[in-house]
Structure 1
Amino acid sequence: MKKEDGSAQKKSYSYSYCVMEDIYGVVMGVPKDQLQLQLSHKNPPPPPPFHLHFPLPNLGPAFQDLINTREVGEFLSGALAGAMTKAILAPLETIRTRMVVGVGSKNIHGSFAQIIEQQGWQGLWAGNAINMLRIVPTQAIELGTFEYVKRAMTSTQDKWNQNGSPRLNIGNLSLSFSLSWLSPVAVGGAAAGIVSTLVCHPLEVLKDRLTVSPEVYPNLSIAVHKIYRDGGIGTFYSGLFPTLIGMLPYSTCYYFMYETMKKSYCLGKKKQSLTRAEMLLVGALSGLTASTISYPLEVARKRLMVGALRGKCPPNMAAALSEVVREEGVIGLYRGWAASCLKVMPSSGITWMFYEAWKDVLLVERRRAAAAKSSAPRG
């Protein structure tokens, strides 16, 4: 019954449409074939769907070329070396920071025992999560910047020596610019310290707060919230100026000593490169020398960065140094130096050892890939 009703309705609809079509044709005087054409124009078929298509560029080859560059290999080598070093030496970093800012015991053994008693073994890795987040980009940027600036300076010096230095003529006065008196290694080291500090300083502030006051800042999210609430964005850059002042001599001396000792040792032994054990030793000695020279500035920097936690904060680096000398004498400028050496020497040695090892692996693979690509037949 339902099917019959449907057929009847369909026939009724068709008949009605034909009748209306005939009536319209008679009234308007339009032949039936033209009438059907007009009706079809009045009800045209729907237009095809509109598709908006943007051809995307093929970034695969460009990305592959970027990955195969020397700079990317050095950047990745620095990141991996920093991560592996900090994972091993986190307890020494915790003890050193506490001693520098005057929290807890004044000697290494007492500070170690105090942390174990109050926080357990995990207390030795307090702030290590943020430390890892800090050291990976810091070490990558620092080592990558050092290598890049050193090469750029060396290349520029060679070009100026061959083609002559640029000259500035002012009337009868002629000034010649020369870079021969600058050490590419020293300039690269200074640039590495400045660039990495400017980029990663907020992470350093967070790491120190988490290490010194874990009861106030139990985790990273709470630390970020409290620091921003108490002082705004500027608090994350507290101590930036003294950090730059302290980093400049340290970074310059650190890289200069490493490169100088490495070249001198290789010349003396008549060898092309250092073994892994020799890298460890040379890196440790370069870190010790640089740390000893710049350590008073490190003490002042730490005082400025965490001074608010102790209820008093020196207004500047000179005031911080004067405060230390007034309270503890000149020896106070080297408070925690032994703990710092215990951390800096293995950290520096292990970092250089891992960095050179990763660089050998990554850059050798890239050189092989580039050689294979260039020697492949082109169809």
Structure 2
Amino acid sequence: MGEPSKAKSLSWSSIGKSLIAGGLAGGVSRTAVAPLERLKILMQVQGNAKVYTGVWQGLVHMSKHEGIRGMFKGNGTNCIRIVPNSAVKFLTYEQLSRRISHHLQENGGDGQMTPLLRLAAGAGAGIIGMSATYPLDMVRGRLTVQDAKTRQYRGILHATRLIVKEEGLIALWKGWLPSVIGVIPYVGLNFCVYETLKEVVLKFYDGRDERDLSVMTRLACGAVAGTTGQTVAYPLDVVRRRLQMSGWAGAQALHAEGGHAVIYKGMTDCFMRTVKEEGVKALFKGLWPNYIKVVPSIAIAFVTYEQMKELMGVELRISS
């Protein structure tokens, strides 16, 4: 742990490098699992339709009807969103951790971050990162869901203009509340579990420095962290995605086999109607492909971030 004066601030160079590392971490990790990300969203919003019934079946269906490009549909928009989101999220967590650690030192403590403090810092980082890029997530969701039959948006700018024109400016923030609620346990647990697991491993190998941890060890810590956070927050992610689709004419085609297009009044209405009409299991639709996506995605993001910071000569430990 550094001196209090060092914990107070970072140079602009270190901040810039941290942002670059965080942005690359987000872009690389999301592109690696883009087909699974699209399958998850399609499963979340298909209602009672049975177009996508499983991971392998869904991937084969997408590949057969839309080709390889279709499997990565919406990934460009997703990267445009996730790169700044990830950059802000990692930097915010790092700075919140520094501030908390510095405060503990000033009050006579050792400055060590506890799991609960890491959870709080991660939650704050998640809220700030998500809020800063939420309209892009809304647009990305629409672009990802549409297929050849429901194609309505030609790209990010066209989708944004059309959504604002037809549904109003506030439509770009549909699903924001469940996103805020969901990001607290999700991102909070990601950082908390990842950092705590690394600490446990380092204590097991007494005397080792964090730089001695292998890539596989970090990947394993990231996988456990991502799975834990996603399990807790997943129902809110389903509600968020459904609220984003609510009111979109193209959603009618997605629900056609189920008999109706759904328009929700808000988060509570979405929760209640989803459970009433489709059962509690509907709150976990797409969870399995999401597990398969989250395990490598979160792991790759953490490892890429730390490796990039190491290559650029910035301190390695996120919460140091």
Which range, TM-score by smaller chain?
Answer: 0.7 to 0.9
Change (3 A) 1:338 1:332: same
1:61-76 equivalences in 2 (<5 Å): 67-68=12-13, 70-76=14-20
Verify: 1:272 aligned to 2:209, yes or no: yes
CA distances 1:220-272 after superposition (whole Å, capped 9, x unpaired): 23212211111222111111111101111111111111111110111112222
Verify: 1:87 aligned to 2:24, yes or no: no
Q: Per chain length, whose mean CA-contact separation is higher, i.e. which structure has more relative contact order (CA < 8 Å, sep 6+)? A: 2
Q: Distance in 2 between matches of 1:240 and 1:258?
A: 26
TM-score, normalised to structure 1's length? Answer: 0.71
Match of 1:225 in 2: 161
CA distances 1:9-44 after superposition (whole Å, capped 9, x unpaired): xxxxxxxxxxxxxxxxxxxxxxxxxxxxxxxxxxxx
Match of 1:129 in 2: 76
Verify: 1:327 aligned to 2:264, yes or no: no
Decide which of 286, 292, 295 is 1:336's aligned counterpart. 286
* Amino acid paired to 2:67: G
Match of 2:247 in 1: 308
* Amino acid paired to 2:95: Y
Task: Please list every run of at least 4 consecutive aligned residues from structure 1 whose deviation after the TM superposition is greater than 4 angstroms.
Answer: none
**RMSD of the TM alignment (CA)?**
2.2
Tell me the number of residue pairs that the alignment of Structure 1 and Structure 2 aligns.
Answer: 285
Q: Distance in 1 between matches of 2:238 and 2:281?
A: 11
Flag structure 1 segments of 5+ consecutive residues without an equivalent.
1-64, 163-179, 367-379
- SS of the residue corresponding to residue 65 of structure 2 reads helix
Q: Distance in 2 between matches of 1:107 and 1:313?
A: 25
Does the 8 Å CA contact 1:79/1:136 hold for their aligned counterparts?
Answer: yes
- SS of the residue corresponding to residue 53 of structure 2 reads coil
* Amino acid paired to 1:236: L
Q: Distance in 1 between matches of 2:215 and 2:42?
A: 32
- SS of the residue corresponding to residue 218 of structure 1 reads coil
1:191-202 equivalences in 2 (<5 Å): 191-202=124-135
Q: Distance in 1 between matches of 2:315 and 2:222?
A: 25
CA distances 1:266-314 after superposition (whole Å, capped 9, x unpaired): 1112222221111111101100001011111111111111122334222
1:362-377 equivalences in 2 (<5 Å): 362-364=312-314
Decide which of 311, 317, 320 is 1:361's aligned counterpart. 311
Match of 1:292 in 2: 231
* Amino acid paired to 1:128: N
TM-score, normalised to structure 2's length? Answer: 0.83
Match of 2:179 in 1: 243
Match of 1:141 in 2: 88
Verify: 1:260 aligned to 2:196, yes or no: yes
- By how many angstroms is 1:364 displaced? 4.5
* Amino acid paired to 1:305: Q
Q: Distance in 2 between matches of 1:209 and 1:124?
A: 15
Bigger CA radius of gyration: 1
- SS of the residue corresponding to residue 35 of structure 2 reads helix
Q: Distance in 2 between matches of 1:76 and 1:330?
A: 40
Q: Distance in 2 between matches of 1:67 and 1:152?
A: 17
